[in-house]
Homo-oligomer: A and B are copies of this chain.
């Protein structure tokens, strides 16, 4: 079965993208302990100063969905929400065909 990928953008309110990124980096450490987590990258797109990108790969969508129950993740989400400029867009759902690195 092909792995489940997500590539999404979270837009922070002006001047808060670094704070948002640091919360997501903390989340990455927690989430990476979850079953089936193969990749959780936090990045910036320098053409979109207030945006933070998250790129994830999981063995399955179910593993991804379960990761929300990892202790501490919901707290981090609640810290991040007030920093967002509007409702988070649904990320691009990717069916990972293969490649190298994970």
A: which residues have CB within 8 A of B?
A: 5, 7, 21, 25, 28-29, 31-32, 37-47, 53, 55, 57, 92-102
Contact = CB atoms under 8 A, between A and B. Distances in A.
A7 to B, nearest CB: 6
Nearest to A44: B95
16 contacts: A5-B43, A28-B98, A28-B99, A32-B101, A37-B101, A38-B101, A40-B99, A41-B94, A41-B96, A41-B98, A42-B99, A44-B95, A44-B97, A45-B94, A46-B93, A57-B101
Copies in the assembly, this chain: 2
Nearest to A54: B99
A45 B5 CA distance: 9
